[in-house]
Amino acid sequence: MHEILKSFTFDDLPTKPPVTGRPKVSEDLQQTIALLSAFDGITRRLVRASPTGVLRVGSGRAVGLHNIVANKDGYTIACVECPASEVMIRAFPDNTGRVFVNIAAAAALNVGYPLFTGEWVSLSVNDMSILQLYIEKETDKVAVIYTE
């Protein structure tokens, strides 16, 4: 029988009693855990299914929305550390300039993915802290929606 050296939990899968110490894992339990979880490269995530057994492959539940307004021309902002699975960034339809989105590097004029007025982009991320934004014109706005 295998022994779990480092316990891990799923926030949305409570165990009774809670896993502590170094529990022993039978072959049956090991297969069950493998079937219930997936690894995205950084964290383990719980795989979900409908009551009829269909796997959920859609977007995660939205957990936050931020509207960012530039207070000067050439406004830059780095997103704060926040776990997320997907993020959608949209330039407001009444903007007069462009927005540049960069990943794991500073965004600047013509550096990053350009969003023109009303355009949007959806990205899969593990944490929002890797996103950097550059807003070209003062008072232009960006909406950022992220999922769990």
Q: Which residues pair with 25 in a beta bridge?
A: 2
| Closest of 36, 30, 34, 63 to residue 49, by C-alpha | 36
64 vs 55 pLDDT, higher one: 64
What does pLDDT average to over the chain? 81
Q: What is the pLDDT of residues 27-37, one digit of tens each?
A: 655 556 656 67
Q: Which residues pair with 75 in a beta bridge?
A: 135
* Neighbouring C-beta atoms of residue 121, cutoff 10 Å: 14
Q: How much is the pLDDT for 63?
A: 87
Distance CA(121)–CA(140), nearest Å, equals 17
**Confidence category of residue 60, pLDDT binned at 50, 70, 90:** confident
Q: CATH number of the domain at 62-147, please?
A: 2.60.120.10
| pLDDT > 70? residue 115 | yes
| Closest of 74, 71, 55, 83 to residue 135, by C-alpha | 74
Q: What is the pLDDT of residues 84-97, one digit of tens each?
A: 888 999 999 999 99
Residue boundaries of the structural domains of the chain: 2-46, 62-147
| pLDDT > 90? residue 141 | yes
Q: How much is the pLDDT for 124?
A: 85
Q: Give Dmax (Cα) for the chain.
A: 64
Helix extents (H) in the chain: 27-36
| pLDDT > 60? residue 140 | yes
Residue 146 near residue 92, CB atoms below 8 Å: no
pTM of the model: 0.65
| pLDDT > 70? residue 65 | yes
Residue 128 near residue 135, CB atoms below 8 Å: no
| Closest of 65, 81, 88, 82 to residue 99, by C-alpha | 88
